Structure 1
Amino acid sequence: MEENKKFFEQKAAVPPSQFIINLDGDEPKLTTSRLKEIGECFVYDEVGNRHTMSELWSEFRTIFVFVRSFLCFTTKEYVEDLALVPRQNLKQAQVRLVLIGCAHWKHIREFKKLTNYPYMVFCDTDYDVYNRLGFQKNKEIGRPGDSPHVKSSSIGGFFSSLYRAVTSSSKFDYQGNFDQQGGSLILSPDLTVHYFHADKTARDHTPINTLLSIAGVKKILFSHDTGSQSKVLNY
């Protein structure tokens, strides 16, 4: 947890009441007792060290993004955009951004390199957190256009995922259950839930600027006109 010391200079002093609370109608009774139970679940970092979930939210308001298999094209393209969130914006708002996958932790480094994702990544290899949050299991990909962050068509994305499956360092390892959907959660150290959403399809993830806005982080403007290297403008 060395990032605690390097990334932030002081804790947020803004009262939680100044932030939006929007449970999006998906909350599986996120009571304090349920959150404490989730807080005791273990997730693993890129070298296999385990951490309790409560460690990740104990100091700062935290945006958790839970994703599908690392091989899924919707996961890759969403995280590529998530990687563009400026570190300074998070620092100014005193917000932590945490990505959680359902693959084995050994895949984290390769996935971070692939997506240029610079922030914390952990894996819930036993699906303990996914199950307790009530995340869905289905094969639904969703329709093109459902997500502003997924640029590939379903067919193109399928072949992209297949190519990565056969060329990755762990050939034909699914890197997470393809039937497992993800979701998002914004939580404060006092266990105030500011936002929760359980994805119904692979393209149903919450738009990144929605997460940033609810957490009190400056939004960013995504432009995909230049291809894979998106231009980001603050506004």
Structure 2
Amino acid sequence: MATTIPATEIPDNKSLKTALKLEVLDVEGKKVSFGSIVEGQKTIVVFIRTLFHSPLMYVEALAEVPAPALQTAGAKLVVIGCGEWNPIQSYGETTGFPASQIYADPTRALYRALGMNIEKLEGTPKGEQRKSYLTKSMFVNAVQSVWRGPLKNPSLIGKQGNISQLGGDFVFGPDLEVKDLLKVAGVEVVAS
């Protein structure tokens, strides 16, 4: 029987109030309160593992979200990594995601406040056998990640964040209704 990483609960009001007061670092290393990032409009916040390797392709896909689609939805898209702020500019250039919308949480205090307390390196759940093959695309992705991250910017090695820190996705905003969240998740709700 396969096991999965247990889902954490949606943060309660106390946790959210704490999170909104916490600070992250912007592309210039300046402290910015998380609350100021998400206040006033619908904000999709994607917390990633590191500001180098594995989430590169995911963030590249986020960079392709058309700005007009976000504007029509009255939303903005933000990425937060658990490393230092120094790699942000390079990470933005590498992924095509605007560096001005990438932040760093080197202490991981924001991750913890929002319930992202899971750290996991192993890729195979306990009780399952690890598949011992490497496809060509997996190999190419791994090589590209190393080339575009640590090898391209060796001075940033060690500043990318803890690779075992799992991330998460949140939508914050005023007047956000449950039906809107379900729609984002692809769940259609028929009025009764």
Distance 1:171 1:110 in 2: 9
Q: Where do 4+ consecutive residues of structure 1 move more than 6 Å? A: none
Identify which of 35, 50, 58 aligns with 2:31. 50
> What residue number does 2:46 align with?
65
Cα shift at 1:152: 4.1
> What residue number does 1:225 align with?
none
TM-score normalised by length of structure 1: 0.62
Contact 2:86 2:159 survives alignment (8 Å): no
Report Cα offsets for 1:9-54 as digits up to 9, x if no partner. Answer: xxxxxxxxxxxxxxxx834351112100110110010001111111
> What residue number does 2:92 align with?
112
Identify which of 40, 57, 62 aligns with 2:21. 40
Cα shift at 1:157: 3.4
> What residue number does 1:139 align with?
121
**Unpaired runs of at least 5, structure 1:** 1-24, 144-150, 196-210, 217-235
TM-score normalised by length of structure 2: 0.75
| Alpha-carbon distance change, 43 to 171 in structure 1, aligned in 2, over 3 angstroms | closer
Higher relative contact order (CA 8 A, sep 6+): 2
Identify which of 184, 189, 192 aligns with 1:214. 184
Contact 1:194 1:214 survives alignment (8 Å): no
3-state SS in 2 of match to 1:105? coil
| Count of residue pairs brought into register by the alignment | 167
**Unpaired runs of at least 5, structure 2:** 1-5, 126-135, 187-192
- Alpha-carbon RMSD: 2.9
> What residue number does 1:157 align with?
141
Larger Rg: 2
> What residue number does 1:187 align with?
172
Cα shift at 1:180: 0.8
Contact 2:23 2:31 survives alignment (8 Å): yes
Distance 2:151 2:158 in 1: 9
Higher fraction of helix? 2
